[in-house]
Amino acid sequence: MFGTTHRQTAWQQCVDFHGHSCPGLAIGFKAVEALQQQMGPVHEKNEELVCVTENDACGVDAIQVLTGCSLGKGNLLYRERGKMAFSFFNRTNGQQLRMVFKLPISRTDVGRAALQEMILNADPSELFDFSQPRFSLPEKARIFDSQTCEQCAESAVEHLIRLHEGKKLCLDCFEGYSRGW
C-alpha cells in the first residue's frame, strides 16, 4: 500500500483525524490497504470512488482520511447493518468490492494494543473476506429543495418531508403508521 515512511504518515493522519489510535481505526486503515491491492490507487477528490459502510465505528474515519470519501460529498454512505463491512464502487471503471472483517479475536483475548498491532501487521487477506457488493452502485448525490415543517418550523430536504392530515411534517414530527410488522 505505502512505503514505510508514507505508511507511518498515513497512519498518523488517521490517528490525528480520529483523535486516538485503536484497533477499530486499524481495521479501516487495513481496509483501504486491501482496497488498493484489489482496485489500485483510491484517493479521489470527486465522487468517483464510493464507500458504503455497514457500521459507524472507528474504521470509517480511516476510510475518510485515506480515500477522500465523505458524507458531505455524498460518496460515503452509511447503511446500518452492524457489520464491520465496507463496499466500494469505482464509478469510472465499474470496479466493485465488498470486504467483511473476519478476525475472530476480541481485544479482551489479547489486549487492545496487541490487537491493534496484530491488525496493522497482518496481510489484508487474513483480515477480510472479499466478495461483490450485495446491492447496486448508489446514484450520485443530488441537491434537494427544503420544505418547512408545519409543526416545528424547521427546514428539511423535501424528499424526507411527510404529509400527514394535509400538513408537511419533518421525520421528527411525523408519527408513522405501523401495524406492528
Mean pLDDT of all residues belonging to the chain? 90
For the chain, give every domain's residue range: 4-131, 143-176
| pLDDT at res. 180 | 66
For the cut 90, the answer to whether the pLDDT of residue 27 exceeds it is yes
| pLDDT at res. 60 | 97
By percentage, how much of the chain surpasses pLDDT 70? 93
| pLDDT at res. 139 | 79
- Single out the residue of 97, 129, 13 nearest to residue 61, CA to CA: 13
For the cut 90, the answer to whether the pLDDT of residue 47 exceeds it is no
Prediction pTM value: 0.80
The CATH T-level fold of domain 4-131 is: 60s Ribosomal Protein L30; Chain: A; (3.30.1330)
pLDDT in tens, 124-176: 999 999 999 998 887 777 788 899 999 999 999 998 899 999 999 999 999 87
Spatial distance between the Cα atoms of 30 and 126, rounded to a whole number of angstroms: 11
Q: What is the CATH number of domain 143-176?
A: 3.30.60
- Single out the residue of 65, 55, 53 nearest to residue 21, CA to CA: 65
